Amino acid sequence: MKRSSAPLIMAITVAALGLYWLYYSFATPYTPQTTFFPTTDFARSTHEVYIFVNLLLLAIFVLVEGALIWVLFRFRKEDARPGDPLPEQVHGNTKIEVGLTVATTLLVIVLFVPSCQQIQFMQTKPDDALVIEVTGKQWWWEFYLPEHDLVTANEVHVPTGRPVRFDLTSTDVIHAFWIPRLGGKRDNVPGRTQFIWMTPEEPGIYDGQCAEYCGSSHALMSMRVVVDTPEDYAAWVAQQKAPSNPAAMSNFASFASAGCLTCHTTLVNDGTVRNMLGPNLTKVATRTQIAAGILPNDSDGMTTWIQNPQYHKPSAKMDIPAAQCTGEGEPDPCCRMIGIGNCLSEETVAQLVSYLQDLK
Ligand code: CUA
């Protein structure tokens, strides 16, 4: 490669990377987990700080790289003629060094002020927030809404126009709650409660993902927030709280005898049944997905999940690895799913799926 073409290649590479970044940031707005299309006050104000910082840094980058490229071309060795005098040889320049130090300090202050304002904004608890207590679990999310005394899992609805405060904790390891278009992200730390809040503005479906490595199925720990109009939200709460008698439904006997009630409940979704080993299934058929966002909530998704949870979510507490099941005889209820052909016939699985699909 000719030495003189190096700056050009460098400039083209930088421009290509910039275009690639722009395309994936702006031309694909419906990537579910983008931060570029915020839909809450919190997400937007964070985004504005982000854009401000990046535009400022982009301007500095262009200035510095532009000066560098100009110097590389202007003073290249190929242009020097024999006999040209040597430029003046200098060491250090107090004015330039002081100037750079002052400019850098001012720049840090310019970055510091809006960042502090944003932190102040998001650390002030809003009045009249809808509180949702979020417990991270390996590898799913429990949601509890004290205002309605309502427990659900992995998918929760919120209304527009009212601040929602997620109170975050964990019962095992550190997880992180992150729904990019609503704003984020914050850790769920065992033994401690932190909060994050925002005011949803646009009805829609917003997906998020655990953002702190938490074990083998960390990548399979999604959550979904459905933002409703206030009317739709009221209807959702009414549906979740509607009395039903799941124990009287056909196929409940199969569900009970398969041992599912050891870790799940289908009977109540109030504060008396928080922190069970598995998600609350009282109204499971009203959710759009199962297993923390990794399978669709339909007969096929439910069937393949029950038949082989370990295939879909390695090390999930559902289906304890065979090595932990002791002896022959009558297995522990949670181990019953091992060797599914022996313990849960296809007919039984079909009955369980049918039962669960009716829970709405
Ligand atoms: Cu939970 Cu990563």
Q: Is 136 in the pocket of ligand 1 (CB under 6 A)?
A: yes
Contact between 214 and 139 under an 8 Å Cβ cutoff? The reply is yes
Q: pLDDT tens, 101-152? A: 999 999 999 999 999 999 999 999 998 999 999 999 999 999 999 999 999 9
Q: pLDDT tens, 50-100? A: 999 999 999 999 999 999 999 998 888 777 788 888 888 889 899 999 999
CATH homologous superfamily of 246-324+332-357 equals Cupredoxins -  blue copper proteins (2.60.40.420)
312 Cα: distance to centroid of ligand 1 (angstroms)? 16
CA nearest ligand 1 atom 1, residue: 175
**Identity of the amino acid at 8:** L
Does the model's pTM come out above 0.75? yes
- Give me the mean pLDDT over the 172-182 stretch: 95
Q: Is 134 in the pocket of ligand 1 (CB under 6 A)?
A: no
**What's the chain's average pLDDT?**
87
Cα gap 189→135, rounded to integer Å: 9
Work out whether the CA dihedral 185, 190, 195, 199 comes out positive or negative: positive
Q: Which CATH architecture best describes the domain 130-241?
A: Sandwich (2.60)
Q: Is 226 in the pocket of ligand 1 (CB under 6 A)?
A: no
Q: Is 214 in the pocket of ligand 1 (CB under 6 A)?
A: yes
Outline which parts of the chain fall under CATH 2.60.40.420.
130-241, 246-324+332-357
* Beta strand pairing call for 183-188 and 175-179: antiparallel
Q: Is 137 in the pocket of ligand 1 (CB under 6 A)?
A: no
Read out DSSP for 202-229? S-EEEEEE--S--STTGGG-EEEEEEE-
User: Relative to the CA of 173, which ligand 1 atom is closest?
Assistant: 1
Q: Is 213 in the pocket of ligand 1 (CB under 6 A)?
A: yes
Task: Give the ranges where the chain is alpha helix by DSSP (H).
Answer: 6-22, 41-74, 94-122, 230-241, 252-257, 299-307, 309-312, 340-343, 346-357
What does the DSSP 8-state code read for residue 249?
S
**Identity of the amino acid at 321:** P
Q: Is 175 in the pocket of ligand 1 (CB under 6 A)?
A: yes
Which residue would you say has higher pLDDT here, 77 or 29? Answer: 77
